[in-house]
Structure formats: structure tokens, C-alpha cells
Structure 1
Amino acid sequence: MTDPWIPAGPALLFCPADRPERYVKALDRADMVILDLEDAVAPGNKPAAREALVANPLHPDRVIVRINPAGTPDHDLDLEAVQATPYRLVMQAKTEDPAQITAHGLPTIALIETPMGAMRTEEIVAAPNCVGLMWGAEDLVAGLGGSSSRYGDDEAETGEYRDVPKYVRARMRLAAGAYQKAAIDAIHADIADVDGLVAEVRDAVALGFTATACIHPSQASHIREGYAPSPERVEWARRVMEGAVEHDGGVFALDGAMIDGPLIAQARAILARAGHRPTD
């Protein structure tokens, strides 16, 4: 088995591929940039977006290219454009079947954002060239014939996702975890709602998401801050790992609490997010 793909950091910023003047700025503000050939580009601008993608290269290790769904006229054209660049990591919109990504063989983040994609999540993540999953709420709800992924101002749970989007998010997270592949949380579309973004990032971190996508540069700093463990948590994790070595991985007490296997695994994850090498 090869090592799983891990993004360069937790903040992944979408940038319309037909706006090459924004490429460098987007990369400066985030850990990775998602050059978008799909929803962020008007249909008439897609040829220009592909031309800009080829003509304005960035460092490939920090670039993901979102391509249009399989079966659409733009899908094959997007793949041709990607082959003319140094980029090889793609995010495939509206993935609904593993064959849609194995057909081209590129390392792929499968975007789960349709009812059929949600129902086939476990099959999709098992594809050999699937390196991660991301989910999307708005296309999902549109595919159900719905009108809103979140509770509105006149409802008690204002701003929270409705049950079906929550279910798809949870299913995607479980599938990615089961196959040890990256899990990327959905964008927070309300740019002005910083508190809502921070709360969702906090929840994503608690559930072990690998990264969170965003649509505005101002959101990237909040995502980075949310994924970075506090110094106190890092120190706790360091002490846990030291205790694990001392007790040969067995149960031990630390600050009046019992530390066992699950807490040792959590400590290892905290140190990994902080950029420290955990003690084995």
C-alpha cells in the first residue's frame, strides 16, 4: 500500500479557472488552491478557463483542478487540458460511480453531491485512484427537488444543516475513514457568517476531517486557525505519547484520567495536525 494522500494544509480555496489573475493570490492565502473548471465558470467561459489553466502554471503540489462531471461535453475537454499541465490531482464534480474516475486513472478527490453519489459513496471511495472525498450540500438538495440545505431564519435550528445533508456528510466521513482516505468538508457559503464557519470547522476537526474547502480568501485563515491545536492540547498529546512509550502502549493514568488506545490515537492525530512527528 502507498501512503495516503494528505493535502498541504487544511484550507483549500476555490478559484475560478477563468480568472488567472487570481491564481497566485489564492495560493498565497490558502494551503492549496482548487482551480475550478465547473460551477465557478459560466458555460460560455469554459474554453477560456481551460486555456488559462494551461497558460498559467502554479506549483503542482499545491493545486487541485475541479473538472466537470463525467458524461458532460466538458469532461473530456477538461481532462485534455489537465494533461497539458503539470497538474495530476483532480476533483471530479458530481461523482456517481467508481467507473467515472477509474476511466481516466488520475488521482481523484470524488465530490459527493448528488443523491446517486451519496448512495454509492462506499463504492466510490474504494476506487484505487480515489485519494479522498468531499461533499456538497446545495447540488445534493437540488437533486432531491429541495430548496434549502439549511434551516432558515424562521426555524429553531437557524443556519444548521437539515437532516439529509447531515446524513450525507456523516456517511462520507465514515467512508473516507474506513478506507483511510482524505475527508474534505464542504464550503460555508455565507462569507459574512464567520461564527458559523468557525463552528463548522471546530466540528470538522473534532470528527477528524482532513481539510475544509472555502470560496473566499478571508475564510482560509479561520480554517487554518481552527485546525491548529492549541499549545495546551499539543502539550497534552506529547505527554500522552511519552506515557504510551513508557507503558508499552498499555493503559496508564495521566492527570487523574485513564489513557487507553483511543486517547493515544487522538493524541497522535493532534500532533500530526500540529506538524509534530508523533512518538510511535
Structure 2
Amino acid sequence: MPSSDASPFTMGPALLFCPADRPERFGKAAGRADAVILDLEDAVAPADKLRAREAVLAQQGAGGLEPSRTIVRVNPVGSPDFELDLAALAKTPYRTVMLAKAESAAQLKALEGYQVIALCETAAGVVNAASIAAEPNVVALMWGAEDLLASLGGLSSRNDDGGYRAVALHSRSAVLLAAKAAGKEAIDAVYVNIPDLEGLGAESLDAVASGFGAKACIHPNQVAAVREAYAPAPEAVAHASELLEAAAAAGSGVFQFKGKMIDGPILKHAESVLRRAGR
């Protein structure tokens, strides 16, 4: 596993985007979610970018957002606003940055000194996900569906039944595999159908079962559904605890537990359950 100069990503499971030009929403977003993403990119109109940066700058001192639970999404490298975003960030205590439309490992050099969540949401970003994940200052990869399809000249990431198209599913898997191969965290894309909490819950269950460490939200009402999906059931926690106790008693190697053969991968699943339970 490649070494990293950045600390492990520990935010989650529910990350909530908040437009950076709406400071009156910052506190509510931070209070509802496990971490807030102050968005300087797509959620802010070009004419309001300056006001958004000023709002982020104002969140300092007493009453400001907790840096360990705050992410700032900056504009893409090479865009007119990227350097302005960095100049503003340098004056804040926030050191976790989400890089919009990350497309190459070279782009991460501009963010040395920051812990970076690289948002792979273009064809180039997905294709280069492995090299991006290997950069020392990258702590996590996230993928984005709609910008990805736009970069392909497509129309929508989802079929009429609400499920992802094949190219979106491929990209989701590619980003997850690249992140985990590099020992980094993976964050699942937002669910844009805000009223459909049942669909969000199902997608969140798939995200945690697949290995995504967190899922991003675009509305406070989505947070509870994500958290519920990531919280293991009490019986699952009890089973995992019993299994790991039996493993400790058995020593090394394969052993039998409640009529089933247990080996290393199954023990890792149990450890994951306890981590999600906060144990």
C-alpha cells in the first residue's frame, strides 16, 4: 500500500454540500451532517464567487465552523477562480479541500499542504483515478455522475427506472477500486432526486456494502437516510463481536463458528461492522 503524507480520512458517513454564498446555512448544515462541504464551485453563480469566498473567510474565530468537520470544494485547476479560491483558503483554518473535476496527478501539486478529496467527474478523471489516488496529499476519491455524463456528451447518468447506466456504474466502480488500491477512502456520488428517500436509502445500502466510506448529500433531509444505511443493525454488531472473540480464542487460521467456516475476509467484514458502529 503506498505511503501517504496525509492523515487518513475520517469524516462521514454523511457529507452535506452547502453553497458557500449562503453563510446563513453553514451552521445548520454542519449541525445536521457529519461534515459540511462549503461549495465554491457549481453551487455558486459566477457573479457570486467573490461573495462566496468572503463568506468562507468570515468563518473564523469563535462561532466558526469546526475545521476537522469542514471541507471546501474549490473550482477546477486552470479555471479563473482556482487561484482566487486558494488565496482565500490560505487565510482560513480549513485544510481539507475537495478538488472539482480532478483530471490528473499533476493537478494535485497545486494543493500541497492540503488534504485533498479528488472529485473524479470527467472521463479524464475516471481514467486517471489510480494515479490521482496515489498522490500523497490525496485522502479520498469521490465520483460525480452528471458532470461525467456531460463530459461524455451524454444526456443522463440514469435509466428510466432510476438505476445508473452502464458507463456510470463502471465509473463508480473504477473510482472505488482506485481509491482502495491506494489505501484511500472512497465517497459515493450525490443522489439528486431529493424527495426519493427510499431510493437514496437503497443506494446508500449498496454504497456501504460495496466499500464506500461515505456518501455526499445535497439536502439536509438526506442525511438521516445515509446514516441509517451506514449504521449496522444491533444483531449484526453482536454477531461481529462474538465472531471476533471466537477468532481471538481460536488463534490463527481457519476455524468454525456456528456451523460455518471462517477465514480472513470474513473477519475483515466483522471488523468493518464494528468500525461503523463506533467500536
TM over 0.5: yes
Whole-Å Cα distance in 1 between the matches of residues 222 and 256 of structure 2? 39
1:76 aligns with 2:79: no
* Paired residue secondary structure (1:103): helix
- Give aligned-pair identity as a percent: 54
Pairwise CA distance, 1:254: 1.5
Q: Aligned to 1:161, which of 164, 171, 196?
A: 164
> Is the partner of 2:111 in helix, strand or coil?
coil
| Deviation string, structure 1 residues 19-72 (Cα, Å, up to 9, x no partner) | 000000001110000000000001100000000000023110000000000000
Contact 2:21 2:53 in 1 (8 A): yes
Matched-pair contact (CA < 8 Å) for 2:194–2:222: yes
| 1:54-203 pair list within 5 angstroms | 54-56=57-59, 57-105=64-112, 106-152=114-160, 158-203=161-206
In structure 2, what is the equivalent of residue 22 of structure 1? 25
CA drift of 1:176 comes to 0.9
Distance 1:164 1:118 in 2: 11
Q: Is residue 44 of structure 2 the alignment partner of residue 41 of structure 1?
A: yes
- TM-score normalized by the length of structure 1: 0.95
Deviates more, 1:127-136 or 1:241-250: 241-250
Letter of the 1:169 counterpart: R
The answer to whether the Cα contact below 8 Å between 1:6 and 1:210 also exists between their aligned partners in 2 is no
**Distance in 2 of aligned mates of 1:58 and 1:223:** 22
Hey, what's the Cα distance between the residues in 2 that align with 1:215 and 1:167?
A: 23
Q: Does 23-32 or 3-12 show the bigger shift? A: 3-12
Cα-Cα RMSD: 1.1
Residue number in structure 2 paired with 1:155: none
Tell me how far 1:4 sits from its aligned partner: 4.9
Amino acid of the residue matched to residue 275 of structure 2? A
Q: What is the count of residue pairs matched by the alignment?
A: 271
Q: 2:267 aligns to what?
A: 264
Contact 1:135 1:172 in 2 (8 A): yes
Determine which of 204, 207, 211 is the counterpart of 1:208. Answer: 211
Residue 115 of structure 1: how far off its partner (Å):
0.5
Deviations 1:183-221 (A, max 9, x none): 000000000111110111000110111100000000001
Query: How far is 1:239 from its partner?
Result: 1.0
Hey, what's the Cα distance between the residues in 2 that align with 1:257 and 1:90?
45
Paired residues of 1:150 and 1:162 also in contact (CA < 8 A): yes
Aligned letter for 2:222? Q
1:258 partner SS: strand
Q: Are 1:247 and 2:250 counterparts?
A: yes
Inter-partner Cα distance in structure 1 for 2:226 and 2:10: 14
Structure 2 gaps, min length 5: none
What CA distance in whole angstroms lies between the structure 2 residues aligned with 1:16 and 1:138? 18
| Contact 1:249–1:261, Cα closer than 8 Å, also in 2 | no
| 2:12/2:215 contact within 8 Å kept | no
What's the CA shift for 1:103? 2.1
Deviation at residue 249 of structure 1 after TM alignment:
3.0
Maintained 8 Å contact 1:7/1:32 = no
Q: What TM-score, normalized by structure 2, do the two folds share?
A: 0.95
> How far does the alpha carbon of each residue in 1:94-114 deviate from its partner, in whole angstroms, 9 at most, with x for none?
000111112221210000000
